[in-house]
Structure 1
Amino acid sequence: MEEHELVSITQGGFAIMNPTTPEKVLAAGRAAGLREGSRVVEIGCGNGTILALWGREYGVSGLGIESREDACRRAEETFRAAGPGGRLRVRCMDAREYVSDEPFDCAASIGASHIHGGFAATLDALLDLVHDEGSVVIGDRFWRSDRIPPEFARAWPDVPTGYEVLGTAREAGLDLAAVIRADGADWDRYESGIWQSVLSWLGAHPDHPDRDSMIDYLHRLQDEYFGYGREYMDWALFVMVPGFW
């Protein structure tokens, strides 16, 4: 099954396609210094919920970049419901090809670091989109420590440790203003939502040619989660601002 279709099936109905909450998203926006009139770009905006939250709470204007057409349509609906027309908009395209006409006050990538190939590459891409005093918000997975069983670490070679995230930010000339972590309930809700979406799809498609692969996918996700994800994997919103050195 094509990757975009798989994401739409498993997470397309989620308000936030990550193990976090609206309250934590708003806390990240506050730490990033969002305020009335701030210009924000979000790479991989999904259905637009995060930008809509920041728009309603902080009065930002925002641009979401999203490649899945069904998500773009949902984002447009979300933005229309969020408030004044034109303040939030979506551009349906490959984020790697996006070039801004002018720098933003904040650039975000929430659960979308795979687009650019990991945390460090995503940070570089976002820094290209903000001015010198701009902030960056990245929501991403990270290992709880550097003592991860090799068989698990090899399955996720691009995942850094939390300490490596800190080092990457400092190397880019940034200070870490906040880390807002997912808790166990956030993880359980997110993972369970994916399982339920797959089970619902299986129930509705008894004769689909991809049925067996979807069953294998479901069981692999559950094996990963209970085998090591719950114990070793973490997720957080990292808020980074220009360093004072």
Structure 2
Amino acid sequence: MNRQMISAVAHGDHPIAAPLADDSVARLLDRALPRGDERLLDLGCGQGAWLERAVRGRPGLRAEGVDIDAAALDRATERFAREGLGGQILLHAGNAREFTPADRFDLVLCVGATHAFGGLLPTLEAARAHLAPGGSVLIGEGFWEREPDERTLEAGFGADEYAGLAGTVDKVTADGWTPVYAHVSSLAEWDDYEWSWTGTLAGWGLDRAGEPDGAAALEAAAAHRDAWLHGYRGTLGFVTLLLRQTPR
């Protein structure tokens, strides 16, 4: 199983690829899309979970997503067609870093996919290039709730990989952005996300006991669960920021 397949399976019961509950997602979208007729771009959209939630109840919204995982986009396209949402959502297969749409967007979204651009600030730089005048960015990023200890670092993180919450916001404001709203994921949201991620993947593996992919899924689920419970639980936080460009 490659990384994309593992992620697709693991997010089967928690399609938002970040520690956010459904009501948190709804509240963020309500803040980010006040009119309901905006143009939205999701950089690293995966199977289009944010796009689907954004267009529901907003018939005037037009949404686009780009992702390198063509198989995930195919599944999303089929799902949108079944649910009558295909006319509002356009998906593009390709590298989000190289995406060059003809139009600009009122909202550019990247939650749980900043690694595709090399981190927070490079993601914001990419988003800036796609924004219409007065547009906003909705971006999700990790931060240290507390200083990472040895167990967190052994789970595969670097001590300087993230800043604290204040330091993260300072980076954003120094880069020319003003936060107009934010949501800090709770420990309960983290736990629900991680139990769903590891549990869904493990269940998939158990259903395929004796098969190579089943064994690989169980191994990946156990490694992720151990890294979370013995490593970064309560140390790694997640903030989703709604940003507008600061006037020069």
Confirm or deny a common fold (TM above 0.5): yes
The count of corresponding residues between Structure 1 and Structure 2 is 244
Aligned to 1:68: 69
Aligned to 1:35: 35
Aligned to 2:92: 91
Aligned to 1:236: 239
Whether contact under 8 Å (2:42, 2:108) holds in the other structure is yes
Shift in Å, 1:171:
2.0
Aligned to 1:138: 139
Structure 2 unpaired stretches of 5+: none
Amino acid corresponding to residue 170 of structure 2 in structure 1: G
Whether contact under 8 Å (1:29, 1:54) holds in the other structure is yes
SS at match of 1:134: strand
Q: Provide the C-alpha distance between the structure 2 equivalents of 1:119 and 1:108, rounded to a whole number of angstroms.
A: 12
SS at match of 2:201: helix
Aligned to 1:186: 189
> Which region of structure 1 is more displaced relative to structure 2, 77-86 or 58-67?
77-86
SS at match of 2:234: helix
Whether contact under 8 Å (1:49, 1:78) holds in the other structure is no
Question: Which string of whole-angstrom CA distances, capped at 9 and with x for unpartnered residues, describes residues 191-223 of structure 1?
Answer: 111222222232233333455554443232222
Which structure 2 residues correspond to residues 215-234 of structure 1 after superposition, within 5 A? Answer: 215-234=218-237
Shift in Å, 1:104:
0.8
Aligned to 1:168: 171
Structure 1 unpaired stretches of 5+: none
| Identity %, equivalent residues | 23
Q: Provide the C-alpha distance between the structure 2 equivalents of 1:102 and 1:65, rounded to a whole number of angstroms.
A: 14
Q: Provide the C-alpha distance between the structure 2 equivalents of 1:215 and 1:84, rounded to a whole number of angstroms.
A: 35
Shift in Å, 1:78:
4.1
SS at match of 2:87: coil
Aligned to 2:80: 79
CA gap of 1:212–1:160, structure 2 versus 1, over 3 A, is farther
CA gap of 1:37–1:53, structure 2 versus 1, over 3 A, is same
- The match for 2:200 among 172, 197, 214 is 197
CA gap of 1:228–1:57, structure 2 versus 1, over 3 A, is farther
Whether contact under 8 Å (2:151, 2:232) holds in the other structure is no
Whether contact under 8 Å (1:52, 1:78) holds in the other structure is no
Whether contact under 8 Å (1:126, 1:136) holds in the other structure is yes
Question: Which string of whole-angstrom CA distances, capped at 9 and with x for unpartnered residues, describes residues 55-74 of structure 1?
Answer: 12444210011222332123
Q: Provide the C-alpha distance between the structure 1 equivalents of 2:83 and 2:37, rounded to a whole number of angstroms.
A: 15
Shift in Å, 1:234:
1.0
Aligned to 1:21: 21
Question: Which string of whole-angstrom CA distances, capped at 9 and with x for unpartnered residues, describes residues 126-175 of structure 1?
Answer: 11111242100112222114x22255247323333222321221122111
Q: Provide the C-alpha distance between the structure 1 equivalents of 2:32 and 2:153, rounded to a whole number of angstroms.
A: 31
Aligned to 2:103: 102
Whether contact under 8 Å (1:118, 1:159) holds in the other structure is no
> Which region of structure 1 is more displaced relative to structure 2, 105-114 or 226-235?
226-235
Aligned to 1:114: 115
Shift in Å, 1:85:
4.5
Whether contact under 8 Å (2:207, 2:214) holds in the other structure is no
> Which region of structure 1 is more displaced relative to structure 2, 37-46 or 177-186?
177-186
Aligned to 1:10: 10
Shift in Å, 1:20:
0.9
SS at match of 2:233: helix
Whether contact under 8 Å (1:178, 1:240) holds in the other structure is yes
SS at match of 2:209: coil
CA gap of 1:15–1:213, structure 2 versus 1, over 3 A, is closer
Whether contact under 8 Å (2:145, 2:236) holds in the other structure is yes
CA gap of 1:142–1:57, structure 2 versus 1, over 3 A, is farther
> TM-score when scaled to structure 2?
0.87
Shift in Å, 1:180:
0.9
Question: Which string of whole-angstrom CA distances, capped at 9 and with x for unpartnered residues, describes residues 62-110 of structure 1?
Answer: 0011222332123224433565642212112221221121211110011
